[in-house]
Structure 1
Amino acid sequence: MAKAQRKKASKKDLIVQKAASMFREKGFPATSMRDLAESVGIEAASLYNHIQSKSEILQQIIFRISDDCNKQLADLDNAGLTNLQKIESVTRFHIQMMFQRFEDYHVMINEWIHLEAQPLADFISQRRNYVQCMEGIITAGIKEKEIKPILPYIAVLTILSAVRGLEFWHRSQKHYTAEELEENMITYLIGGLKA
């Protein structure tokens, strides 16, 4: 029984992994369940032994990444870091997610609009709270003279937009290592914030 459950779980993991790749390549609307089943090597009808719908897969991918982002941010509360170090940690986390979990991260930042009504509302609320938490860290850093007096929202927008720009690196012919990119981005982004 346990072996059958593990096999079913691993098949579901494979389905979700293949779906993330296809959603990134084709977009959520253009990815059919038939194409997904074919990429996994099973009949389309057999997909429903593992998942309920394509929307369920999208929701799982997006909230898995979103939950990881929220956990990382929450863990900073007790990390004993300065506000600038917290922003650096968050920035590094997002950069590393773009390298290590690119397909899932890409789906979260590009395909979230296709979530069904309630998950969409939940995601938008989580994202808003996440940005507000980052703004709060920057505001505290400004008050403590660690961070230049800038608009916190603009700083958050700049950081998250820069990380999103790593999509272009994935498609480029540039041969920089992930470490080189991360260190250069940190130097530029965190150096620009430092008071």
Structure 2
Amino acid sequence: MAKIQRRKASKKDLILQKAALMFREKGFAATSMRDLAETVGIEAASLYNHIQSKSEILQDITFRMATDCNEHLASLDNNGMNSTQKIESLIRFHVQMMINRFEDYYVMVNEWIHLSEPHLTEFSLQRRNYVQKMEDIIRQGIDNKEMKAVIPYVAVLTILSSVRGLEFWHRSRQHITPVEMEDNMVNHLINGLKN
């Protein structure tokens, strides 16, 4: 029984992986369940043994990524780090997600608008809360004189937009290693905030 469960889980993981790739390449709306089944290498009818709908796939990918982001953010509470260190940790986390889990991250930040209700509202709220918590960290950094007097929302928008820009690095022929990319982005973004 456990073996069957593991096989089902691994097939579902494969389906989610291939779906994220297709959602990034074609977009959620243009990806059909038939296309997905063909890519996974199973009959379309068999796909429904592992997943109920395309919407469920989008929910799984989006909320799994959002959970990882929220868990990382929560791990920074009461851990002795100052605000600059917390923001650096968040930048590194997002850069690593964009480098190592590109398709899933891309789907979370670009395709979430196709979530059905009530998931769309729930994700929008989570997203807003996440940005507000990042703003609070920057505000605290400003209050503690660690950071320049910037508008926290603009700083968060700049950080998250910069990370999303790594999509171009994935497509480029630049020979910049992931470690170099992460370190350079962190240095650039943190130095823009430091007092």
Q: Normalised by the shorter chain, which TM-score bucket? A: over 0.9
Indicate the residue corresponding to 2:94 in structure 1: 94
> Offset at 1:79?
2.0
Gaps of 5+ in 1: none
Output the amino acid matched with 1:46. S
Indicate the residue corresponding to 1:16 in structure 2: 16
Identical positions, percent: 70
Query: In 1, distance between residues paired with 2:78 and 2:58?
Result: 32
Query: In 2, distance between residues paired with 1:142 and 1:105?
Result: 29
Does residue 113 of structure 2 align to residue 131 of structure 1? no
- Secondary structure at 1:77's aligned position in 2? coil
Indicate the residue corresponding to 1:189 in structure 2: 189
Indicate the residue corresponding to 1:60 in structure 2: 60
Does residue 46 of structure 2 align to residue 46 of structure 1? yes
Query: TM-score by structure 1 length?
Result: 0.99
Following TM superposition, the consecutive aligned residue runs of length 4 or more in structure 1 with deviations greater than 2 angstroms are none
Indicate the residue corresponding to 1:73 in structure 2: 73
Query: In 1, distance between residues paired with 2:132 and 2:192?
Result: 20
Gaps of 5+ in 2: none
Indicate the residue corresponding to 1:108 in structure 2: 108
**CA deviation profile, 1:127-185 (whole Å, cap 9, x unmatched):** 00000000000000000000101100000000000000000111111111111111111
Indicate the residue corresponding to 1:140 in structure 2: 140
- Secondary structure at 2:111's aligned position in 1? helix
Q: How many residues align?
A: 195
**CA deviation profile, 1:97-140 (whole Å, cap 9, x unmatched):** 00110000000111011000210000000000000000000000
Indicate the residue corresponding to 1:4 in structure 2: 4
- Secondary structure at 1:145's aligned position in 2? coil
**CA deviation profile, 1:65-98 (whole Å, cap 9, x unmatched):** 1110000000000321000000000010000000
* CA root-mean-square deviation: 0.6
Query: In 2, distance between residues paired with 1:131 and 1:153?
Result: 8
